[in-house]
Amino acid sequence: QTIHLSEYKVPTYLVDTVDLCFQLYDDGARVHSTLSVRQNPESKDVSAPFTLDGDSLNLERVTLDGKALVAGDDYEETGEHLVITEVPSQFELTVVTWIEPQNNTRLEGLYKSSGMFCTQCEAEGFRCITYFPDRPDVMARYRTRIEADKATCPVLLSNGNDIDRGDLGSGRHFVTWEDPFPKPSYLFALVAGDLVEKQDTFTTCSGRDIDLRIYVETRNAAKCEHAMDSLKRSMRWDEEVYGREYDLDIFMIVAVDDFNMGAMENKGLNIFNSSCVLASQETATDLAFQRIEAIVAHEYFHNWSGNRVTCRDWFQLSLKEGFTVFRDSTFSADMGSPTVKRIEDATLLRTAQFAEDAGPMAHPVRPASYMEISNFYTLTIYEKGAEVVRMIHTLLGPELFRKGSDLYFERHDGQAVTTDDFVKAMEDASGRDLTQFRLWYDQAGTPLLTVSDNYDSEQGVYRLTIQQTIPDTPEQTNKQSQHIPFALGLLGIEGEALPLRLESTGDAANAPTERVLELTEASQTFEFYGLAQKPVPSLLRHFSAPVRVVYPWSREQLVFLMSHDPDGFNRWDAGQRLAVDVIQSLISSPETAEIEPRLVEAYRALLADLSLDQALVAKMLQLPSEAYLIELADSPDVAAIHRARERVLSHLATSLRDELVACYHANTGGGAYEVTPESIARRSLRNTALSWLLLINDDAGRDLAVKQYSDADNMTDRMGALRALVNSDYAAERSQALADFYERFQDDPQVVEQWFAVQASSDRAGQLPQVQTLLKHAAFDWKNPNKIRSVIGVFAGQNLAAFHNPDGSGYGFLADQVCRLDDSNPQIAARLVAPLTRWKKFAPTYSALMHKALGKIRDKPELSADLYEVVHKSLEA
Ligand code: ZN
């Protein structure tokens, strides 16, 4: 059943306080919940029954103001609700439920992971713990008492401050926690288990000492330092950049092995997927270090953007997620290389979010309807939502944006609000009219900007015409033009940045060399004066809006921009466009096409010029991914794309063989391991060079890889060598390295996940039969989302040539696994199915088979609501 934003009603009853007592046992848990409830003065529904949400609960008792209620007479239990027929305007309700965390495989609500109790309540998991009006606009103050066995659960945690603890006899004990800040139920958390505590402190800007604690299993005690440092950096950054100080005396992070997503921002008690918090030089790659820093920051930043100011309803999810992703992305840019971070964000957006926006599940940043909210934790809500906030930042400038965020936090502290409230605060603080801009929240689909230009040599005027169109998406046609900030520059023939004069008068010396044009109409023409020659345009600098740009670039212009554009992002982008163009022309005429010599020369220049920012060079050397090439194509033939890309890669590697060897050596050595942009770039360059050399069966490259594999003192280099070997034709070296790697790291689940993933992503080691063997491996675990993702998710999402095998075997395989998982963990099943939902996009031979596989899932008996929504929407699209 579908829920509509237009049907939003304020809650009929409000809950002021929640008093919880958890009695945890091996065979289940009893939950006593006492709510103080009153009628909502703003609700028109007077004398309505009080309806609470519940899911898979065993109800033991209900009392109202101390009086036991009778089933059938005083209350009714339907599948999903507890309805108290008659209630006074103010009352105290106690509900006692029995639940079985040890049998909870959905990993929503209270469940067990490696023997410890933990929770995940966002979005609607609290109702799996007790009956409650489980919606974010019901905010209450929580007190939580946890009783458990002392030996198996020495550590008992919940939100807020611990205010009481004691012994209960017979080997049991309790701790009571109190959270002074009113919060929605989705921010509730509880952890009970045998954990070690890593402790540190942070002194806030106003001089308060905050107790910081990271809780992990004993074997992970040495892997918390990076997360702790990241946390302290995040706390400082949020004070400096947003003026946000932490508000409780204690901040806790817990690492959990079985977790459906990355991490969760529960008030004062963040719970993390182990893979998003634990790291050491030997076990985590540079990418993992950066990811951990970003996720720790993201969850910490939610304390203000999400917890202090929360969402009125789940249609507003991007209010907290889009804003918080924007915040963590700016933080990461400040901690490392801003250009590289922008490239990574734009790549994710253009590859995966654009695909989502063009597919059957396309939805606006603020959706108008949904069936299962778990399906809407999407790239659109998170990443496109962050781009929308970034555009506000661009339009207002940093000072007014900060005024706007200050106003937003001040005005709405302690409230549950909407994306509209956010935009309103930005408008009020800046005096800008964002009426048209709001369409970004309501219209789905990626705007397409078609740019054309001409140069009038007589008048020295360069004219740029930009047309915008927004494609139709499910349930939305004939869209209005959006307000788009479009950053650009113009380059002269020497590569010099030209002054951008929008008027014929005025003096060139004062004109800026970069401008943000504001597009608001279907077609607009801009004139630039005083230009002696036709310039080369550098369009949509820094990816200033989440849009596609079409302009008839010549290869010569792209080569020119690759080496001259002062905007690093656009240098990279020009290289990508050139490579895309070269690969695409190989696809359309595979036999005849010669591979563009200017591409080779451009790469040669990149490898040779040590004065360039090496972090940018490392990015520029990465060819556009298969996923991106598929996204760009109209009716993609995956096998042809794969072959063409491989051909370009090996042509580059063959032509640049000596430069690659030199690059490898130039970036080897250089002191102790550190995680800085410079040393990350060195490792990236070295590992790219290595992988290219192995691709062309270069024996010297093979020897370097074997040596690097065994000598490595860090995971980036060890994994770089392993990956190069796994993707090579050196079968003996590949098996030997894989066996050694497993042997070395078999006791570390996070590394075993990487071992699965490197195989499942390889077109050499990850063909379907090999992937099926991985599923039978002793370390594979059908109950652990990370293992599922690292084999099945990686195969279907990253090993595209194997997954899209023209015989349809990859599709059938995915359908089978999705059906199997739907019974134990529907959220994971509904996420894994995503690659099949894009069936319509592909060339007919593929799409027919993908459609068939989806049909197989649709016909499964007892489809979960999660999977039902995704499968039906994509079949009906
Ligand atoms: Zn978030």
Mean pLDDT computed over 510-534: 97
- pLDDT score recorded for residue 330: 98
Nearest to 709 by CA among 720, 701, 695, 700: 720
Cβ–Cβ contacts within 10 Å for residue 607, how many?
Answer: 21
**414, two tokens:** 């302690």
Mean pLDDT computed over 453-460: 97
Looking at 540-567, list the stretches that DSSP marks H as alpha helix, in order from N- to C-terminal side: 555-564
CA of 302 to the centre of ligand 1 (A): 7
**564, two tokens:** 């001259």
- pLDDT score recorded for residue 670: 78
Three-state SS for 18?
Answer: strand
Within 8 A by CB and 6+ apart from 493, the residues are: 533
Write the pLDDT tens digit of every residue in 824-834.
Answer: 999 999 999 99
- pLDDT score recorded for residue 646: 96
- pLDDT score recorded for residue 506: 78
Burial class of residue 762, CB neighbours in 10 A (0-12, 13-18, 19+): buried
CA of 354 to the centre of ligand 1 (A): 20
| Angle at alpha carbon of residue 605, lines to 603 and 610, rounded to 5° | 115
Write the pLDDT tens digit of every residue in 173-216.
Answer: 999 999 999 999 999 999 999 999 999 999 999 999 999 999 99
**298, two tokens:** 């993201």
Q: How many residues does the chain have?
A: 877
**Confidence class for position 47, pLDDT limits 50, 70, 90:** confident
**Confidence class for position 795, pLDDT limits 50, 70, 90:** very high
Round to the nearest angstrom and report the end-to-end CA distance of the chain: 18
Nearest to 361 by CA among 479, 482, 475, 447: 475
- pLDDT score recorded for residue 139: 98
- pLDDT score recorded for residue 190: 99
**119-144 burial, b if ≥16 CB within 10 A, otherwise e?**
bbbbbbbbbbbbbbbbbbbbbbbbbb
CA of 670 to the centre of ligand 1 (A): 37
**Confidence class for position 146, pLDDT limits 50, 70, 90:** very high
CA of 295 to the centre of ligand 1 (A): 9
- pLDDT score recorded for residue 834: 98
Q: Which residue has the tokens 């670039």?
A: 553
Work out whether strand 28-39 and strand 13-25 pair parallel, antiparallel, or are unpaired: antiparallel
**Alpha carbon distance 133, 138 (integer Å):** 7
Mean pLDDT computed over 805-813: 98
Quick check: 777 and 815 in contact, CB under 8 A? Answer: no
Q: Is the pLDDT at 366 greater than 90, yes or no?
A: yes
Q: Is the pLDDT at 15 greater than 80, yes or no?
A: yes
Mean pLDDT computed over 118-140: 98
Write the pLDDT tens digit of every residue in 369-384.
Answer: 999 999 999 999 999 9
- pLDDT score recorded for residue 62: 98
372 an active-site residue? no
Write the pLDDT tens digit of every residue in 252-294.
Answer: 999 999 999 999 999 999 999 999 999 999 999 999 999 999 9
**Alpha carbon distance 611, 9 (integer Å):** 61
Q: Is the pLDDT at 593 greater than 80, yes or no?
A: no
pLDDT > 70 fraction of the chain, expressed in percent and rounded: 100
Write the pLDDT tens digit of every residue in 845-872.
Answer: 999 999 999 999 999 999 999 999 999 9
- pLDDT score recorded for residue 189: 99
User: Is the predicted ipTM greater than 0.95, yes or no?
Assistant: yes
Three-state SS for 225?
Answer: helix
| Angle at alpha carbon of residue 414, lines to 242 and 209, rounded to 5° | 55
CA of 143 to the centre of ligand 1 (A): 24
Burial class of residue 357, CB neighbours in 10 A (0-12, 13-18, 19+): buried
pLDDT > 90 fraction of the chain, expressed in percent and rounded: 97
Write the pLDDT tens digit of every residue in 93-103.
Answer: 999 999 999 99
Write the pLDDT tens digit of every residue in 221-257.
Answer: 999 999 999 999 999 999 999 999 999 999 999 999 9
CA of 318 to the centre of ligand 1 (A): 9
Within 8 A by CB and 6+ apart from 826, the residues are: 106, 374, 864, 865, 866, 867
- Does residue 521 come out as left (phi exceeding 0), alpha (psi in the -120 to 50 range) or beta? beta
CA of 317 to the centre of ligand 1 (A): 9
CA of 387 to the centre of ligand 1 (A): 15
CA of 234 to the centre of ligand 1 (A): 15
Catalytic residue among 299, 321, 733, 753: 299
Number of helices (H), then strands (E), belonging to the chain: the values are 30, 31
Q: Is the pLDDT at 152 greater than 90, yes or no?
A: yes
Q: What DSSP letter does each residue of 659-685 carry, written as one string? A: HHHHHHHHTS--SS---SHHHHHHHHH
Mean pLDDT computed over 543-552: 98
**Alpha carbon distance 368, 5 (integer Å):** 5
